[in-house]
Every structure is written in C-alpha cells, then in structure tokens.
Amino acid sequence: MKKAIIIVALVFASLANAQKGSVLVAGNIGYYSKNTGDLKSNYFEFAPKVGYQFSENMTVGIEAAIGNSTNSNRNGNTIIEYKENDFKLGAFLRYSQPLAGVFSIFGDLGVGMQSAKSSNNIPFSNDAKGDGFYVGLVPAVGVDLKKGFCLNFSIGGLGYDSLKYDGASDATNTFAFTFGKQASVGISKNF
C-alpha cells in the first residue's frame, strides 16, 4: 500500500503550489478494525476541511470530523456491544513551507467543540451524551500533484480534549502524543 501511494505520487508529481487567495478543500478518511474470535472493534472517521489561503504560507478555515466506533467485550457468556458516535467542529490555522521540488511541510493547529453519544446493549442502561472541546497540532508533508491536488502524509501529532458526559461529576481529559504511533494520508485541492 505504501509503495502504491508513493508510486502514484511520483507518477503524477508536478509543481503546483497553492497561491494566495485560493480556497483549500481537504480531508481524511480513517478506518480501524480488530477481530479476536467473536470480539470485535471497529472505528471509522471522516474529517473534511475548507479554508482560505490569505498569504503565501497561511491558511485559515473550518474543520469537522464525524466518527463512529463499535466494540464488543465478553462478560461471562454474554457479549456486550458498545457504540459511540462523535462529532467535532472547529477552526484551523495552517502554516505551510515549500521544500525542494514537489514537497512541502505544513502544520495544522485546530481548536473547536466536540460532542459524543454512547450506548450499549446492556438491559436498562442509558445512553450517555457528552460535550467538550479539543485542541490539536498536526505536522505533515505534502506532495503536490497536477492541477492543485496534493497528497498529505502525517505520522501523528499533539492533542488535548475534554469531554464531560451528562450526569458525570468530572470531565474526561485526554492528552495525546502520537508521533510515530499513527499515520494519516489525506488529499487536498486548491481552487
């Protein structure tokens, strides 16, 4: 898979730098699946962005993410299924710097609000709803393709989020340092 992405990037590569006054449309799609017998974990996320490049190196815009996860665990002879849907909406600031040829590096700083709803198949359990905020910094490398298209590669980032569920006395606060622990491939287009 990695070789195919690199080959596609090199075959279509040409210098097509984003220019001041252009509109950036970008996004990532993520999927994770793990199965052990009848125990399963699945996660799907779609994260689009739209921004305006107001200088040669700076872009500001809005970002969103919609995610869905399902997990199953065994409790005795019973399999309990947990489901969670989450949504994020916020703003981002991107600083980009061209490198030699078709490559560039950039960093996205995003901040916004988030909400989550979780449920399970345990009888008499209630759905849980939560609201909070997030902050994230993601460095990445872009490979410029023809006609303003760019493939974006990142290998993690920094993140902090806070989520408080209804009825809970405390919020769940998460700090994530994921450099080298996750990889992301996205695509963007400047108009």
Of the candidates 69, 66, 68, the one whose C-alpha atom is nearest the C-alpha of residue 87 is: 66
How many distinct structural domains can be found in the chain? 1
CATH code for position 138: 2.40.160.20
117-159 pLDDT, tens per residue? Answer: 999 877 777 788 999 999 999 999 999 888 888 899 888 899 9
Residue 57, phi then psi, degrees to nearest 5: -120, -10
151-181 pLDDT, tens per residue? Answer: 998 888 999 999 999 988 999 999 999 988 7
11-37 pLDDT, tens per residue? Answer: 333 223 446 788 999 988 888 899 888
Put simply, whether the predicted model's pTM sits higher than 0.75 gets the answer: yes
The two tokens of residue 20 are 């001041």
Q: Is 11 exposed, middle or buried (0-12, 13-18, 19+ CB in 10 A)?
A: exposed
Asked if pLDDT for residue 182 goes beyond 80, the answer is: no
The three-state secondary structure class of 66 is: strand
The two tokens of residue 29 are 């799609």
- Domain range for residue 178? 2-190
CA 57 vs. chain centroid, Å, equals: 22
